[in-house]
């Protein structure tokens, strides 16, 4: 069954297919232009450091084979966990995800489905580690020019990161909590949303719920809309999964907000994101929804741009998965 719903009940416009180009896959140095608007934003006091009220947190770290990246994983376990295995939500950009949550939300989660919460981040105090995530979250190499016009080579490490999650992170989580393997969810925003989609395409049985928020379909000149998607559309044979694709209303209409066009970095980034139309995620939801076995939902958030969608989409995901109040509806419209 496929469900489509748009903001405030408005019908979706006609949907047309898109195409793109698939580039070679490799893990190389990330480009600065893939960073968020404030790449140096730091993490303050979060639920990890606060006194445990409904969840306790355990932490472990993992190093990349080349020792260039160190992942930090925080596992939230309900203090009153039942004997039955619990659903689990794996969240990318773990530091940023932690900043979305507070004790009231944790208490409500513990009183509902009591999921295990897994925050996959990096071992530093950055809200978002742009350089590291550009490698880990992208299955396609990007060769766009940077703000100085120099060619760059970035991304391509998603398959290795998928292996890390399956072979190292999941087993470690399952040592610490009883997990219901039939209720595993993966959430990501922006490049993280792109990683969610490439995971669906290549490992559709790894999770039962795939939640892609504002996926960066423009990456590598729109390569995510090319061969890998097409192969999935033609080879998927009823593998069951529930897929949520979420997009800010300002994103869909191409509203980029106020940008400093005198900043070469801003100009380079706007040029890069032209690799896909602003409404490409909405079109993608329709194509995926035609596949047997997939339940696809598209949700649009009125007035929201790309940045605020991290918070809104995660709060919406917690609501739809675990029955807590949908706090995303209280967010005011904000700059992309």
Of 191, 295, 305, nearest to 259 by C-alpha is 305
Asked about 190 being catalytic, the answer comes back as yes
Q: Strand 70-78 relative to strand 55-63: parallel, antiparallel, unpaired? A: antiparallel
CA distance 240 to 268: 39
Q: In what order do the strands lie in the sheet with 116-122?
A: 55-63, 70-78, 116-122, 86-91, 179-189, 209-213, 241-248, 294-301
185-214: b (≥16 Cβ within 10 Å) or e: bbbbbbbbbbbbbbbbbebbebbbbbbbbb
Asked about 251 being catalytic, the answer comes back as yes
The catalytic position among 54, 214, 251, 328 is 251
The catalytic position among 130, 190, 214, 220 is 190
- Residues facing residue 245 across a β-bridge: 212, 298
The catalytic position among 189, 269, 283, 306 is 306
φ and ψ at residue 290, rounded to 5 degrees = -80, -5
CA distance 298 to 303: 16
Of 193, 188, 155, nearest to 26 by C-alpha is 155
Give the pair of three-digit tokens for residue 48: 């990890």
Q: What is the CA radius of gyration of the chain?
A: 19
Asked about 54 being catalytic, the answer comes back as no
Give me the active site residues, please: 190, 251, 306
């Amino acid at each position: 069954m496929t469900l489509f719903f748009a903001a405030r009940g408005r019908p979706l416009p006609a949907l047309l297919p898109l195409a793109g180009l698939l580039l070679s896959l490799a893990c190389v140095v990330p480009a600065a232009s893939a960073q968020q608007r404030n790449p140096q934003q730091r993490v303050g006091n979060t639920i990890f450091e606060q006194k445990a009220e409904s969840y306790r947190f355990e932490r472990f770290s993992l190093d990349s084979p080349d020792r260039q990246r160190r992942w930090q994983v925080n596992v939230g376990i309900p203090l009153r966990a039942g004997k039955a295995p619990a659903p689990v939500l794996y969240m990318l950009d773990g530091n940023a995800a932690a900043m979305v949550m507070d004790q009231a939300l944790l208490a409500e989660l513990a009183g509902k489905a009591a999921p295990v919460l897994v925050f996959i981040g990096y071992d530093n105090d950055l809200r978002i580690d742009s350089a590291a995530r550009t490698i880990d979250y992208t299955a396609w190499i990007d060769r766009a020019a940077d703000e100085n016009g120099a060619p760059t080579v970035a991304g391509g490490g998603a398959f290795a990161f998928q292996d890390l999650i399956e072979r190292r992170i999941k087993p470690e989580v399952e040592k610490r909590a009883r997990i219901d393997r039939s209720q595993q969810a993966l959430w990501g925003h922006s490049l993280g949303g792109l990683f969610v989609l490439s995971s669906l395409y290549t490992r559709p049985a790894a999770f039962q719920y795939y939640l892609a928020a504002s996926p960066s379909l423009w990456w590598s000149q729109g390569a995510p809309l090319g061969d890998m998607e097409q192969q999935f559309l033609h080879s998927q044979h009823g593998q069951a999964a529930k897929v949520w694709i979420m997009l800010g209303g300002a994103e869909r209409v191409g509203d980029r907000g106020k940008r400093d066009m005198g900043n070469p970095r801003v100009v380079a980034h706007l040029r890069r994101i032209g690799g896909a139309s602003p409404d490409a995620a909405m079109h993608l939801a329709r194509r995926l929804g035609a596949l047997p076995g997939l339940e696809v939902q598209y949700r649009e958030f009125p007035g929201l741009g790309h940045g605020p969608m991290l918070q809104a989409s995660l709060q919406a995901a917690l609501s739809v998965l675990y029955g807590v109040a949908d706090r995303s509806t209280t967010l005011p419209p904000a700059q992309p």
